[in-house]
Amino acid sequence: MADTELQQLSKTDRNPVQESRYQELLKSSGGLSGGSNNDIASLAAQQLKMYQEANAPAVQSLQASIPEIQNKYAQQGEYLQKQVGNLDERYKKLLDSIKGLQQSDVQATTTNTSNELGRRGISAESGLFGKTVNEAVLPVNSAYATQIGELGSAQQSALDTLLNQISGNTQNQTAETRAVQNAIAQLQAGGNQNAITSALQLYQNQQSVAQQEADRALQEKLAAVKTTTNPLEQEKLLAEIAKLQAQTANISSGGSGGGDVITELMSLLNGA
């Protein structure tokens, strides 16, 4: 990361104009006090806004895809429900067709058997006549009963497949929608984390510059107090040294804003 203007100025022998600019930047960055947590949190909020703006097109695109997903699965669900109705109608027609053929075959078998018994002189009123006809019709009914059973099994299997597809359609919609929502959440959470990281980096840079400036000023005052013989001037310098020492201790402890910087950042960002 390139040095900030404040860092660049802190490393040079400043002319009056540069000194004025340096003091202005130092003051805006928190100066020798190390900056308040609220200032850093505000900086994090600005960083967060930048990340949110950068991620906004992707978030908007993902949000727009949710109604499209819902519409896609709604259409698929309507189609599958319609297929259930079509399935019932189709198998009903097949069943009616089989029963019609069964009735025709039974009638033809009955007629043929009756005619054959008549040629043999067996009366329709005799017990043998009825028994013979029933025995002739029995295989026909049995064969069609097998077909009807197989048709029913095929219908149930096809219906189960459709019902599974309907259930899967709902589950797929939920999963795809949740995936989009998770992607949105990750973008937003990533913005929060990146904002905190950037703000802390800037905060550390400010602390470093402030510490360097405090150390430089302290060394200058210490050198001055050794060379002056004026008691009043020494007293003034000693007071300034004490103040600078307090300021450097304050910077080392993380600033005078009170509380933990990360806690302040998280509190503000969570409320953003």
At 42-91, the pLDDT tens digits run 666 776 777 777 778 888 888 999 999 999 999 999 999 999 989 999 99
Q: Which position has the higher pLDDT, 142 or 57?
A: 142
Residue 135 has pLDDT above 50, yes or no: yes
Portion of the chain with pLDDT greater than 70, in percent:
66
- Which of 85, 88, 56, 235 has its CA nearest to residue 152? 88
Q: pLDDT-based confidence at 103, cuts 50/70/90?
A: very high
List, for residues 218-252, the tens digit of each pLDDT value: 787 777 777 777 777 777 777 777 776 776 666 66
Most confident of 1-5, 108-112, 208-212, 218-222: 108-112
Distance CA 170, CA 172 (A): 5
In whole angstroms, what is the distance from residue 235 CA to residue 225 CA?
A: 9
Top-confidence residue, 110 or 198: 110
pLDDT band at 109 (very low <50, low <70, confident <90, very high): very high
- Over residues 147-162, the mean pLDDT reads 92
**199 or 58: which leads in pLDDT:** 58
Report which of residues 172 and 205 the model is more confident about.
Answer: 172
Q: Is the pTM of this model over 0.75?
A: no
Q: Sorting pLDDT into bands at 50, 70 and 90, what band is 191?
A: low
Mean pLDDT of the chain: 77
pLDDT for 236: 78
pLDDT of residue 183: 86
Domain boundaries, the chain: 35-270
As to burial, measured by CB atoms within 10 angstroms (0-12 exposed, 13-18 middle, 19+ buried), residue 212 is middle
pLDDT at 33 (0 to 100): 42
According to the model, what pLDDT value does residue 111 have? 92
DSSP codes, 66-117: HHHHHHHHHHHHHHHHHHHHHHHHHHHHHHHHHHHHHHHHHHHHHHHHHHHH
Element holding 185 (H helix, E strand) = helix 127-227
Mean of pLDDT values over 103-107: 94
